Amino acid sequence: MVDRVILYASLLASVIRPPNKTNLTLLCATIPAHWFFSKSYVLGMRWQVIPSYCAIAVSICGGNPLLSAVLGLLGFLADTAIPEITLDSGVIKGEHSVGYFDYEILNTKELLINENTNVSTSKPAIGRIFYPTKVPHNITSSYFFQNDRHGLTRRFVATSGIWNLIPQMPSWILSHWSKIQIPVSLGAEPLDKKMPVIVFSHGNTASRELSTTMALSLASSGEAVVVLVEHTDCSSSLARFSNGDSIEFDHSVGKLGNDPETIEFLNARRSQTRIRSQNIRDSIVSMNDGSGGSCSSRISRSSNGNCTNNNSSSCLLSSFSGRLNLQEIGVGGHSFGGATALTYAAEAINGRIVGPASKCNISGLFVMDPANSWIPDEVRLDVGLGVKPDVKYYWKKNMNASPSPPLLSQKICTMFMYSEFWWSVDKWSQYGKEFIKSSSFSNSLYIVIQGCGHQSLCDMAILLPNFLNV
């Protein structure tokens, strides 16, 4: 903020007044100020302010005043429209500091079997874990996995639906996101208490990062460990691994016909949901058995209890031994992730989840703007939906659905949260309302957030504050 004030003061002085000592002093102060306050001048100045620097240079060198003014205006407008993003300690709502690490499960021993085909393909499970720390800290780390080494911000421009109105959007327009810092410490020792686990599934085109602020709020309360899964079904803009490999987003699925949704499109999405459910299961297994995964940061514990960048692949996961209550697991998701959470919960209650994860109990389920139609056929009756491929509505509107309340509503306490936009479409929101009405749990909830858009239920509203409503 300070560097921007100096920048625009310098720009204003250089445009209004002829070159003089004051102008030169302001210009000279701008560069070190930007370096000191944003620490990003040399390694990657935000593109939004480049026109303003050029305007100052043109004016100082005695160039065309009109050109200088135009460049300055462009820089100011760009910086205002797409501002610098700051996720400082204000996003920590609880009293505890937060630690984190990224996990990878590359070889799964058990598969989630499709009862219709009796086959399944094992997929790696990856994601990020946030947790309250034993010792307070003032450390910050990158919002993006490996400082956006894989180029997620560029992929996101190409895959996210928010850019449909401007199809030729330059891929570098979100590059400033790679500079975002969050108040977390890599590998800090966890709080010494037993805590429930919350596993969260992201939406279509999203990634492990896009529900970070929710995870920070929950972890800082000291009451939960939060697992943000990054799905490997080709629905993430870019699923990333520690060795630099990645799984690209599959654009071919959308080309099967999604407006209206064709049977081919629905079958493809439902196949992806099965893989996503497996990702959740394997992430839960990783929490149950630290030796089953590998920490992407490759770090081990030092004598002071923290982790250092030396070796052990299972150090961080094993550090939670005795600190996790896997009989109190919360499963949640947004959009495609909402459909994934409903699917996994149904798989769990009807006995389709096997192995270590089957011994863990889901005590709560929360879904935000769930994509109802992408839930697979084999669990649709359990969650209260019809079984025909073209049916999207809840069980009370379908002759082919069970007349009794869905099994899931009787087994797990559930919260449906809708944005006002999603709530306005009956085929999506009415299902959730009837589901909660049928719930056997008095504390199940149906919530609609007035004035809220679909993307505002994740971090997108914070990352693009002038484009999406909060």
Closest of 229, 215, 242, 201 to residue 131, by C-alpha: 215
Q: Does the pTM exceed 0.85?
A: no
pLDDT at residue 202, rounded to an integer = 98
For the chain, where do the domains classified as CATH 3.40.50.1820 start and end?
A: 89-463
405: Cβ contacts below 8 Å, ≥ 6 apart: 384, 438, 439, 440
Query: For 345-398, how does the pLDDT look when each residue is reduced to its tens digit (9 = 90+)?
Result: 999 999 888 888 888 999 999 999 999 989 998 999 899 887 765 555 555 655
Amino acid at 95: E
Name the more confident of 296 and 71. Answer: 71
CB 199 within 8 Å of CB 331: yes
Q: Peptide bond before 167: cis, by omega within 30 degrees of 0? A: no
**228-257: b (≥16 Cβ within 10 Å) or e:** bbbbbbbbbbbbbbbeeebbebeeebbeee
pLDDT at residue 349, rounded to an integer = 94
The dihedrals phi and psi of 188, each to the nearest 5 degrees, come to -65, 150
323: Cβ contacts below 8 Å, ≥ 6 apart: 190, 191, 192, 193, 194, 195, 225
268 half-sphere exposure, CB direction, 13 A CA radius? 16
Closest of 136, 175, 168, 184 to residue 152, by C-alpha: 175
CB 184 within 8 Å of CB 216: yes
Q: Which residue has 């449906």 as its token pair? A: 416
Closest of 441, 424, 421 to residue 366, by C-alpha: 441
Distance between CA atoms of residues 451 and 295, nearest Å: 40
Say which range, 108-122, 143-157, 308-322, has the weakest mean pLDDT: 108-122
Looking at CATH, the fold of the domain delimited by 89-463 is given as: Rossmann fold (3.40.50)
* SS3 at position 27: helix
CB 345 within 8 Å of CB 294: no
Query: For 222-279, how does the pLDDT look when each residue is reduced to its tens digit (9 = 90+)?
Result: 999 999 999 999 999 999 998 899 999 999 999 998 888 898 999 999 999 999 999 9
The dihedrals phi and psi of 338, each to the nearest 5 degrees, come to -65, -45
* SS3 at position 321: coil
- Asked if pLDDT for residue 285 goes beyond 70, the answer is yes
> In this structure, is the dihedral angle defined by the CA atoms of residues 13, 14, 16 and 18, taken in order, positive or negative?
positive
Amino acid at 71: L
Average of per-residue pLDDT values in the chain: 79
Closest of 435, 361, 371 to residue 404, by C-alpha: 435
Q: Which residue has 């769930």 as its token pair? A: 370
H/E segment holding residue 339: helix 336-349
Task: Report helix angle 263-288 to 336-349, nearest 10.
Answer: 60
179: Cβ contacts below 8 Å, ≥ 6 apart: 38, 40, 44, 46, 84
Which token pair is 200?
Answer: 């969260």
